[in-house]
Each structure stands twice: as C-alpha cells, then as structure tokens.
Amino acid sequence: MTRMTTALIALCAASPALADVNVYSHRQPELVQPLFDAFTKETGIGVNVAYISKGMVERLQAEGARSPADLVMTVDIARLAQVVDAGVTQAVDDPTLNDAIPAEFRDPANHWFGLTSRARIVYASKDRVADGEVTTYEDLADPKWKGRICTRSFTNDYNVALTAAYLLHHGEDATKTWLTGLKANLAQKPEGNDRAQVKSIWSGVCDISLGNTYYMGQMVNDDTQKEWADSVRIVFPTFEEGGTHMNISGAAMTASAPNHDDALKLMEFLASDTAQEIYAETNHEFPIKEGVARSELVESWGTFTPDVLNLTDISAARPAALKLIEEVNFDG
C-alpha cells in the first residue's frame, strides 16, 4: 500500500463529513482516476479514493453508520454480492441508472450496478497454437493440452466465477471431472496473475492460458510487457450450447453514504456516455451502456457471443464451485 493511499484511508476514517464523494475501491487507482477527474471537471465535485485490496466488507461493517464511504467500486459479481449480503449497502432506485444499465447487469433490488463487462478468454500462442484450435471451455480438459496450460490460482474470484458458470451449465459431477482434467493439463502449479500467464506463454512454459480480455490492453501499452502481448492472440471460447463467460465491474452505494446526493451524481456519471467511453478507451473494457462504442483495440479482438447465464445465479453458485475446486486440490 502506498503512503498516499494509507494517508487517504486515515483521512476518510477520521473525517465522516467530508464534502466530496468518498469511494472505497478494489480497483487500482490508475484505472479509476481518469473517470473521477472527468467527473470533477464536469460537476466541480471532488472524489476521494481509498484503494482497499482486502477486507473492504469487514472495514465497512466495523465503521457502521460512521463510515465516511459513499460508494464502493469493485470487480467480479461475487464481490458485489458480498458487500450487498453483508448489509452495508442501500438500494438506489434511480431512473437514470435504470435506463442506462441493462437489467441483466444490475441487481434486481437495485443494490449494485454493473459499469463495465469483461470476458474470461484464452490467450493462445501465435506460434504453437493453430487458429481455431481452441473452441470451448470444455475442451481445456482434453488430454491434447497436457503440459500446455497455465493459469492463476483457481480460488481467485475470476476462476471461481468461471467454475460456477460451468457448474450451472453441466452439474456437479461433470464440473469435478472438468477440473480434474484441466489440472492434469497444467504446465506448472497455478501462480501469479493473468498477465504472468501470458509471460509464461511468451517464454515457452505453456501454450495457452486463461485471462480477462482487458489485460491485453494493459500489456500492449506497457513497454515491458508488449512483447508478451504480441506473442499471443485472444480466443473467445464458449460453453457447449452456450457463449463466452462474462463478468463485470460495478458500484454500490453504502448504507451510511454521508454525501448521498453527490454520490448518486457520481453513479449516474459512471453510467453516462462520457464515462463509458473513458472505460472503453482507458481500461479496454466492454461498455455496458448500449450505443457506446468499444475502443479501436478492443474492437480488433473480434466479435463473440456472450453467455446468457444470470450473474446473480453465478454468484449464488460460487460456494459450490469453490468446494469442488478445493476437493480436487486444484492449486496443490
């Protein structure tokens, strides 16, 4: 944690009546600051951001009604559901948000709202994997991939959500068989983040890996990682009789929200064309609002068919998915 972040968290904790909007964010500051800068320029309302990588729910519960936080911003439907289930958010029934965000990307009870979407895809070596060789998630358990797959920990939220989606499509026995087969195909024990897996492909450790789409955008714009990105292509696998697994980033208003009205203005801004375009150009994510164009880079990755599973159902299936991951000792 940086000195600036530590100071900001201390400031928020000590000043429950700050005039600006206060955000607790799982998202790294560089990913969200351009949005807040644009909001402040448009409205004159400042935004204080505390980057909290772990323990956000516990912090909000401990602070209770005294919490300075107005909004939480996080990634993955599971984390959004977690803050709602903890009772630290409030419903926001707002016509602007309901009009901008499709129903499938917001909580039926209006506690969380999706802001962007991303696909869980395969990064494939341009040199060692033929175009069209990877087709489905089910195929990743085929012995033809033995010793050729890399992945981060499967207890990571992104992979638990993917496993939960697999469970909903195929049931418990088939999912356990899939996890066992996928584990048998690993080139090394799960470690690192999604970008580290692409580096492993570049260095010849493996041929394919699982990852989120937007990491490609981050790598091609990083001089130290561009070579990794150039060594792979993005492949959009699908579930058999389904589509490509999707997840979201999103926001929720806290139960305390000392600056409720300005926080609502920020939520509305994040769902606006302006903010959705910033998400697309800066973070290389898929805009949720209809009619907002993808960035040129994201558009170059091609089209795909998103899976239609309900995100709330995926979140509910996570505990059963995590249990199966632990039963096969996937990371062991």
- Model confidence pLDDT, tens digit, residues 105-152: 999 999 999 999 999 999 999 999 999 999 999 999 999 999 999 999
Q: How many CB atoms lie within 10 A of CB 291?
A: 8
| pLDDT on residue 166 | 98
Q: What's the pLDDT band for 7 if we cut at 50, 70, 90?
A: very low
- Whether 46 and 80 map to the same domain: the answer is yes
- Whether 72 and 214 map to the same domain: the answer is no
More confident residue, 11 or 162: 162
Alpha-helix runs per DSSP H in the chain: 3-14, 29-43, 56-63, 77-85, 95-100, 157-170, 172-184, 194-202, 214-220, 226-230, 260-270, 273-278, 296-300, 311-327
- Whether 259 and 240 map to the same domain: the answer is no
Tell me the CATH number at 227: 3.40.190.10
Please count the structural domains in the chain.
2
Rounded (10°) angle between helices 311-327 and 157-170: 100
- Please state the φ and ψ torsions of residue 196, each to the nearest 5 degrees: -60, -30
- Whether 180 and 288 map to the same domain: the answer is no
- Whether 156 and 202 map to the same domain: the answer is yes
- Whether 43 and 173 map to the same domain: the answer is no
Handedness of CA 179, 183, 186, 192 (dihedral sign): positive
- Whether 200 and 319 map to the same domain: the answer is yes
Letter for the amino acid at 120? R
Q: What pTM was computed for the model? A: 0.87
**C-alpha span between 79 and 248 (Å, rounded):** 10
Closest CA to 119 of 73, 158, 149, 167: 158
Residue 105 is part of which domain span? 3-117+246-294
- Whether 240 and 269 map to the same domain: the answer is no
Q: What's the pLDDT band for 57 if we cut at 50, 70, 90?
A: very high
Closest CA to 158 of 318, 327, 329: 318
**pLDDT tens per residue across span 221-240:** 999 999 999 999 999 999 99
- Whether 21 and 165 map to the same domain: the answer is no
The reply to whether 332 falls in a domain is no
**pLDDT tens per residue across span 280-324:** 888 899 999 989 999 899 999 999 999 999 898 999 999 999 999
The reply to whether 299 falls in a domain is no
